[in-house]
Structure 1
Amino acid sequence: MTVARSVALFVVAALFEIGGAWLVWQGMREHRGLLWVGAGVIALGLYGFVATLQPDGEFGRILAAYGGIFVAGSIGWGIVADGYRPDRFDLAGAAVCLAGMAIIMYAPRGG
C-alpha cells in the first residue's frame, strides 16, 4: 500500500503544481487577471505541502522522482487544458521520465 499511497501523492502534487503554474500563466500571459495568479500561487504552495507527505523521508529523492511525474503530467495537462498534441518524441520522453521516476522511488534498496 505504500507504493499506491506514494503514487497517489505524486498525482495530487502534480495537479497542484502544474495546475498552479497554469493558473499563473493564464493570469499573466492570457490576461485573465490577478485572481487567477493568486489561485495559482495558493495551488503551488499546496504542492509544496503535499510533497512533504511522501512516505520516503529523502527530500532529494522525492523531488528528483517528482520530476518524472511533472514531465508526464505537464504533457497530459496540455492535452486536456490547452488542446496540445504531443508527438511520438514527447510521449517517448515522458515514458523515459516515468521509468526514471519509478527507479528512483521504488527500486529495492539494501540497509
Structure 2
Amino acid sequence: MQNALIFAAAAFFEIAGCFAVWGWWRLDKPALWLIPAAVCLGLFAWLLTFVDVEHAGRAYAIYGGIYIVASLAWLWAVEGTRPDRWDTIGSAICIIGAAVILYGPRQV
C-alpha cells in the first residue's frame, strides 16, 4: 500500500511539473511557471527513492504503468477531455504489466 501512495504522489508531481512547462511553452504562461515545475519535478524524483524495490530501473518500470493511468486521469480532471475506450484498454494493459513487474517472484 505504501508503494501505491508513493507512486501516486510521484505521478501527481511529475505530471504537474511537466504541465507547468507545457503551460509556459505552449500556452504562453509566464516564465514564473518554471519555478513550480522545477519543484514538482524534484519532488517526483525524490519520492521514487522511497519505493520498496531493490533496483531503480525496476521502480521506474513499475512507475511507467502508474504514470500512464495518472496522465489519463489528468487529461480528464484538468484538461476536461474524457479518456476513450482505447485509452482505458491501453492503461489497463500497462497497469497489469506494472503489477507483474512489482509482484512477480524474484530469485534472491
- TM-score normalized by the length of structure 2: 0.94
1:55 to partner: Cα distance: 1.3
Partner residue, 2:35: 38
One-letter amino acid of the counterpart of residue 81, structure 1: V
Is residue 28–residue 37 contact of structure 1 (8 Å, CA) maintained in 2?
no
Is residue 12–residue 50 contact of structure 1 (8 Å, CA) maintained in 2?
yes
Give the 5 Å matches for 1:55-66: 55-66=52-63
Task: Establish whether residue 47 from structure 1 lines up as the match of residue 44 from structure 2.
Answer: yes
RMSD, aligned CA: 1.0
1:94 to partner: Cα distance: 0.5
My pick for the range that moved more, 67-76 or 27-36, is 27-36
Task: Establish whether residue 67 from structure 1 lines up as the match of residue 75 from structure 2.
Answer: no
Partner residue, 2:83: 86
- Between the aligned partners of 1:104 and 1:33, the Cα distance in structure 2 is 40
Is residue 23–residue 40 contact of structure 1 (8 Å, CA) maintained in 2?
yes
1:108 to partner: Cα distance: 2.7
Which runs of 5 or more residues in structure 1 are unaligned? none
My pick for the range that moved more, 60-69 or 23-32, is 23-32
Structure 2 counterpart SS, 1:109: coil
1:28 to partner: Cα distance: 1.6
What is the aligned length? 108
- Between the aligned partners of 2:52 and 2:11, the Cα distance in structure 1 is 17
One-letter amino acid of the counterpart of residue 87, structure 2: D
Which runs of 5 or more residues in structure 2 are unaligned? none
State the identity as a percent: 37
Task: Establish whether residue 20 from structure 1 lines up as the match of residue 23 from structure 2.
Answer: no
